[in-house]
């Protein structure tokens, strides 16, 4: 009783901490109105529903073939460029990877730099950023530009001047000493800034934090694992597949105190339903990658979370990959669609394309699981997700023993697992078109070998414990597909193969065009049947997200190019060099030998260096914004 009373007190305290701004005009009302203006692009994902749909229609399936480069801008940084620019009125806000420079460009004056912000950060942070020094973009709210820096500092800049309004440490340390880093794009919801953390490969226990937009003070903080007071879980009211989760669900599926270094970081995308006042996001892999060392389901890693935006208290949870054995982080975007008919009934849904290769359609009010189907036919680690509510396996993937790294054990190389650790899709966000009712999804078509081994935890040091190699599925020579998906039926409508993974965010438009980018550097436009209408090769590989805006009465398409991210880490991190690859292993593998030079390079970068080695034949490092438009 005393424990429950303490939990109730702390949950109430979380609510009171956020009470102070009740009478303020909420920033999300401003943002919702701004997002209704298709001329601007005010959030990284386009809107709170994360649809990445633009209502602009000057560029159509008939004239998109005439697109031409209108202007470009160098960010001055040669690493992976994820995310995209914000466009608010006559100003474009462009971000860059570490050192996380932010530029405000005047669209009325040839992209003149109105201001530039370049934070001073400890360079040691670079070494603890798992999969390149990426940043997924800035947020806007109440006249402020919000940046989540690599060192976990969250800073609010005056949108007009670039001057710092407030700054706060989201992590415990800003020198990389705890392995914490910041890569995700913040989101402004009501009077708060929501931001997560990266670092599960260093044993960082994940969290989502809410800071007051006005002054940066902490409003609430919800951990992915831990006691109910840490996770902001109500044991009697928070549900998992319709049932209360019970007391301390964030610790009782862990051995001892392993939850304290349990991972479950929160570096993906966040969506928001204003009617339900719920924020949705996913948590990442449990630490370590060696499943033998952490028995149990490891809750609440690999979980979709629905939390009250004011208090952070969880309404419902769904763990997609209990006791993860493959690094299938659950952080990918949650796309919200109203009135979708599923199995004869209409639901306001959440659609999520998970790294594990299953696409989930859920009732976003109740957390009811409606659809869970594979969105790449190569997926083989599980046969299905059990959909029988009366079964003790309800909601759980049915793991194939051959591909279970837990069952095969430490120091055993499990081969032919599909997808690879980087998933059927990583964070690169999909798009949804209300015109077709379909989702347009950039995917990876990659398999792996996975050998777990024992590691020990030291704060700020890698805590991985697996050797991975990656390659296309057997008998195939392409590593990516761009697909159209029917989330009501759980079916692929069409699939367009690409040589490498499609690592860019997609964009659907009212002009009946869908855009995406490729790792070789092409921006491509297709129609609703997947027919290619246009392509142009930018200076470097595209891992950024395509953006649309209108200025001066004309529609434009913008994209950042700069190869990198996990798939491009061989190029971005220089790991194709045997010496550099060996140094990477020396830092990560805790003394484990990795074989000859070919094996050392092939398994560097958590397996991506070898898998994407051929990418070096098609592109090189860059850092550029390219803007396209129709001829004058």
CB 168 within 8 A of CB 156: no
Dihedral sign computed on CA atoms, order 76, 97, 158, 37: positive
Q: Which of 229, 224, 232 is nearest to 267 (CA)?
A: 224
Q: With b meaning 16 or more CB within 10 Å and e meaning fewer, what string describes 11-39?
A: beebbebbeebeeeebbbebbbebbeebb
Q: Are strands 414-417 and 144-148 parallel, antiparallel or unpaired?
A: unpaired
CA distances from 295 to 89, 291, 595 (A): 52, 7, 29
The widest CA-to-CA distance across the chain, in whole angstroms, is 72
Q: Is 199 annotated as a binding residue?
A: yes
As a whole number of angstroms, the distance between CA 235 and CA 245 comes to 6
Q: Is 200 annotated as a binding residue?
A: yes
Q: Is 383 annotated as a binding residue?
A: no
Dihedral sign computed on CA atoms, order 478, 479, 483, 485: positive
Q: Is 109 annotated as a binding residue?
A: no
Q: Is 520 annotated as a binding residue?
A: no
CB 83 within 8 A of CB 545: yes
CA distances from 146 to 136, 157, 163 (A): 12, 6, 12
CB 211 within 8 A of CB 191: no
- 449 included as an active-site residue: no
The pair phi, psi for residue 407, each rounded to 5°, is -65, -40
CA distances from 484 to 319, 439, 494, 495 (A): 25, 6, 5, 7
The pair phi, psi for residue 94, each rounded to 5°, is -115, 135
State the burial class of residue 158 (Cβ atoms within 10 Å of its Cβ: 0-12, 13-18, 19+): middle
Query: How many DSSP H helices and E strands does the chain contain?
Result: 9, 40
Q: Is 545 annotated as a binding residue?
A: no
As a whole number of angstroms, the distance between CA 594 and CA 413 comes to 12
Q: Is 405 annotated as a binding residue?
A: no
Q: Are strands 554-561 and 139-141 parallel, antiparallel or unpaired?
A: unpaired
**Residue of 310, 327, 426, 510 marked catalytic:** 327
Distance of CA 92 to the CA centre of its chain: 23
Q: Is 82 annotated as a binding residue?
A: yes
As a whole number of angstroms, the distance between CA 565 and CA 502 comes to 12
As a whole number of angstroms, the distance between CA 209 and CA 189 comes to 12
Q: Which of 224, 124, 206, 117 is nearest to 170 (CA)?
A: 206
H or E, element range at 31: helix 27-35
Q: Is 79 annotated as a binding residue?
A: no
As a whole number of angstroms, the distance between CA 218 and CA 235 comes to 24
As a whole number of angstroms, the distance between CA 329 and CA 353 comes to 11
Integer Rg of the chain from CA: 22
| Residue 288, preceding peptide bond in cis (omega within 30° of 0) | yes
In 22-111, DSSP assigns E strands to 53-54, 68-74, 86-88, 91-95, 102-106
Annotated binding-site residue numbers:
82, 136, 183, 199-201, 265, 285, 327
Annotated binding-site residue numbers for Ca(2+):
201, 285, 327
Annotated binding-site residue numbers for pyrroloquinoline quinone:
82, 136, 183, 199-200, 265
Active site residues: 327
């Amino acid at each position: 009783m005393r424990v429950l009373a303490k939990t109730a007190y702390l949950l109430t305290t979380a609510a009171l901490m956020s009470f102070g701004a009740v009478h303020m005009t909420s920033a999300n009302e401003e943002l919702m109105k701004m997002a209704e203006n298709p001329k601007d692009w005010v959030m990284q994902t386009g809107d709170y529903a994360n649809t990445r749909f633009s209502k602009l229609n000057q560029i159509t399936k008939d004239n998109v073939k005439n697109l031409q480069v209108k202007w470009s801008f160098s960010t001055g940084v040669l690493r992976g460029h994820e995310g995209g620019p914000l466009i608010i009125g006559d100003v474009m806000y462009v971000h860059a990877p570490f050192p996380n420079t932010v530029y405000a460009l005047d669209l009325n004056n040839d992209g003149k730099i109105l201001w530039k912000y370049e934070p001073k950060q400890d360079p040691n942070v670079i070494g603890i950023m798992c999969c390149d020094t990426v940043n997924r973009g800035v947020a806007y709210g109440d006249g402020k530009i919000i940046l989540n820096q690599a060192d976990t500092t969250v800073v609010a800049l005056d949108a007009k001047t670039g001057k710092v309004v407030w700054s706060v440490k989201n992590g415990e340390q800003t020198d990389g000493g705890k392995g914490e880093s910041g890569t995700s794009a913040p989101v402004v919801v009501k009077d708060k800034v929501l931001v997560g953390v990266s670092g599960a490969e260093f044993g960082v226990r994940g969290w989502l934090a809410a800071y007051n937009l006005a002054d940066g003070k902490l409003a609430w903080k919800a951990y992915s694992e831990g006691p109910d007071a840490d996770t902001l879980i109500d044991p009697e009211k928070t549900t998992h597949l319709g049932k209360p989760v019970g007391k301390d669900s964030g610790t009782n599926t862990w051995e001892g105190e392993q939850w304290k270094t349990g991972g479950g970081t929160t570096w993906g995308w966040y969506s928001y339903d204003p009617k339900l006042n719920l924020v949705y996001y996913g948590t990442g892999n449990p630490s370590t990658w060696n499943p033998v060392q952490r028995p149990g389901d490891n809750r609440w890693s690999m979980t979709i979370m629905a939390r009250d935006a004011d208090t952070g208290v969880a309404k419902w949870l769904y763990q997609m990959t209990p006791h993860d054995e493959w690094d299938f982080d659950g952080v990918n975007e949650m796309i919200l669609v109203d009135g979708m008919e599923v199995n004869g009934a209409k639901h306001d849904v959440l659609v999520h394309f998970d790294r594990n290769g299953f696409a989930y359609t859920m009732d976003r009010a109740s957390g009811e699981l409606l659809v869970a189907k594979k969105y790449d036919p190569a997926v083989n680690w599980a046969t299905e997700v059990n959909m029988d509510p009366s079964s003790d396996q309800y909601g759980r993937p049915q793991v194939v023993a051959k591909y279970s790294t837990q069952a095969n054990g430490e120091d055993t190389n499990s081969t032919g697992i599909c997808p690879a650790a980087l998933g059927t899709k990583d964070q690169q966000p999909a798009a949804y078109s209300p015109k077709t009712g379909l989702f347009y999804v950039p995917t990876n078509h990659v398999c792996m070998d996975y050998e777990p081994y024992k590691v020990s935890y030291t704060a700020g040091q890698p805590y991985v414990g697996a050797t991975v190699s990656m390659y296309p599925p057997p008998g195939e020579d392409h590593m990516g597909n761009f697909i159209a998906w029917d989330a009501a039926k759980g079916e692929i409508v069409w699939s367009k193969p690409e040589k490498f993974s499609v690592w860019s965010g997609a964009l659907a438009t009212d002009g009946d065009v869908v855009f995406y980018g490729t790792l070789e550097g092409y921006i491509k436009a297709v129609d609703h049947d997947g027919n290619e209408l246009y392509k142009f090769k930018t200076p470097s590989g595209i891992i950024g997200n395509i953006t649309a805006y209108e200025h001066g009465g004309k529609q434009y398409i913008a994209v950042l190019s700069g190869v990198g991210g996990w798939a491009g880490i061989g190029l971005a991190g220089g790991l194709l060099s045997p010496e550099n690859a060996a140094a990477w292993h020396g830092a990560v593998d805790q003394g484990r030998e990795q074989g000859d030079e070919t094996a050392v390079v092939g398994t560097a970068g958590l397996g991506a260096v070898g898998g994407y080695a051929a990418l070096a034949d098609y592109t090189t490092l860059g850092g550029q914004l390219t803007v396209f438009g129709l001829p004058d």
